[in-house]
Structure 1
């Protein structure tokens, strides 16, 4: 059917897959997926809300945290419609235009996540290296510029992806291995040379995740060097303790992302189930865990939640 539509000049219809081989369990799988999405949407919305509402949180660290929560909301909202359609309503078809748009937003917000994590590493370095000038260096206007720069970089780098894909003929299988559209999955389907798409995808990967992770490593190398220069053990532990939440967020984000990249690059013969599970872990776990990590490990966020939702007790 999809082949015939493409040959006649019409846009092909892609078929989304929940988890390959587990189609008969879609009704049961919808329960944990709906729960995880509810936690992600509520948790990140609450973080953005408390940072906006609570004046005591209008500081660089928490403003960056609200950016991270907003980008993770974007990731969750980008995948939610088709995930619910596949698992809950058993609707697998998606038009090419809608698929490319979803791919753009998923990858765009994921790249923003990575950029914000680097900005948060920079924030921790400034706070530890030069605490007396912390507020003067990371002013509100600079934080706004950093946030806009991260968003602009993501949009500019991702815009060519759907354009490059739209020029290719899709006359092979149009079945996608996930309940949403991802670029590594889509470039396997055209019946034409996709080297330009693959090379540009690799370029985007290096310019975003690659550079961001490098900057995070450099930032923490300098943080450790600064911490070791602190005379007292108590002072060193106090300084490192301010980084724990961010380190957890970095681990939660980059571990499944690296795993997913490795599966796509080197696991071509791996079971499709692994591809789908890794993609779901990468896109679902960080938005679910990060609000929990920051609310538990950061006293100010925990107290702000209390003041907002339980004002009589706080």
Structure 2
């Protein structure tokens, strides 16, 4: 039997992958959930939970013992991720993992987004490791936008620096289900560009207005104006500049994409912004 392992199983993405593996017929006993703090993992009975700390290589060898296919969920500590991911890749190679999947960023090789370099470097580490591998290049989480609906409705305005750029976001659940599906493919592609159905900030404002009856306006600013607005609202300059740079990337088309790869793995249409907004605002 094939043994599947998933990292980050105390986060938001990893547990969904585990649930989806079981939903797709994998026995809980054939799944290994890896977590920095195993006591925090809340997973179905029968799933083996092992300690795996990206920063402590000594935990990774035992964690990967007997694992055939590994889904490496990218770390959340910006600036440390390449070293952390390299530790996992090295341990996977020593443990004899047959196939490694990694959650990267949409069109990683060419992306100019501020978050892209660590994903680019990690992809390079994996490619040069000799391990059979698949890159799951995820777009933005739709929750980033749906979760701010209340704030947008209260303010009546969405300030942004993305122009008419489209955001092909998808839900965390859809990305995770696609990751589980890719884990189960015997000969997956080297890379999947995973994007949802695109929308603009103007589309987001229009949907909020039509669903609730409360007028919300999308106000396009320059990156400098958005940075100034965010710092005026209390954000530090570094964070404000980072968020403005992300919007500039959206304006350049960095987060637009085609849902074909995602929907092929899902075997169904990806959730749309309107569906998610209606569910949250119901």
TM over 0.5: no
User: Larger Rg: 1 or 2?
Assistant: 1
Q: TM-score, normalised by structure 1?
A: 0.23
Q: TM-score, normalised by structure 2?
A: 0.25
Give the structure, 1 or 2, with the largest relative contact order (CA under 8 Å, sep 6 or more): 1
Larger helix fraction of residues = 1
